[in-house]
Amino acid sequence: MPQRTVIIGSSQGLHARPAKLLVEAAARQPVQVLLSIGDGRPVRADSMLSVLSLGAVAGSTVTLHAEDADGAERALEELATLIAADLDAPDPAVPGATDA
């Protein structure tokens, strides 16, 4: 099963907005992708509930597992990039999101 390990880039961890963006991206993939933290049980990356339940904080390492099928590598690449990015970085529409 193709895997990829990545460090969470968002300062809030996988909560709120970053979690929502990840879940949406995972749902768009042609293959099922799971997410695990440490030795924990992998959970569905396209489930907000599951992603939240990981309680993944900033800087922790998570592992993506893709179903071994066409598009797996690309799915891992896209989701790993997303997780590594600072997704709760300044959102223009959010008053005081990171400013101030």
Partner 1 sequence: MPDLLEGIGVSPGQVAGPVLAMGNPPVLPAVYPVTDVGEEVLHAERALTAVCEDLRARAAFATTATAADVLLAQAELAIDPVLRDAIAARIRRGQDAPHASHDTFAEQRAMFTAAGGFLAERAADLEDIAHRALAALLGSPMPGVPAPGHPFILVADDLSPADTATLDPTMVLAVVTERGGPTSHTAILARALGLPAIVGCRGALTAPDRGLATIDGTTGHMRIGVTETEAAHVQAHAAALRAGLSNDRGPGRTADGHAIDLMVNIGAAADLSAVDLTDVAGVGLFRTEFLFLDRTEEPGLDEQTHAYAEVFAAFPHRTVVVRTLDAGADKPLPFLGLPDEPNPALGLRGLRTSRLRPEILHTQLRAIARAAAGATADVWVMAPMVSTPAEAAGFVQQVHDHGLPTAGVMVEVPAAALRARHLLRTADFLSIGTNDLAQYTMAADRQTGDLADLLDPWQPALLHLLGACAVAAQDAGKSISVCGEAAADPLLAPILVGLGITRLSMSPRALPAVRTALARYTLAQCRRLAERVLEADDPAHARTIAATDVHAL
Q: Residues interacting with partner 1, by CB under 8 A?
A: 9, 11-12, 15-17, 19-20, 23-24, 43-44, 46-50, 52-53, 55, 58, 85-86, 89-100
Residues known to be catalytic:
15
Handedness of CA 66, 72, 73, 78 (dihedral sign): negative
Least Å distance between CB 54 and partner 1?
Answer: 10
Q: Which helix (H) or strand (E) holds 78?
A: helix 72-84
Q: Which is nearer to partner 1, 68 or 96 (CB)?
A: 96
Q: Are 71 and 30 in contact (CB under 8 A)?
A: yes
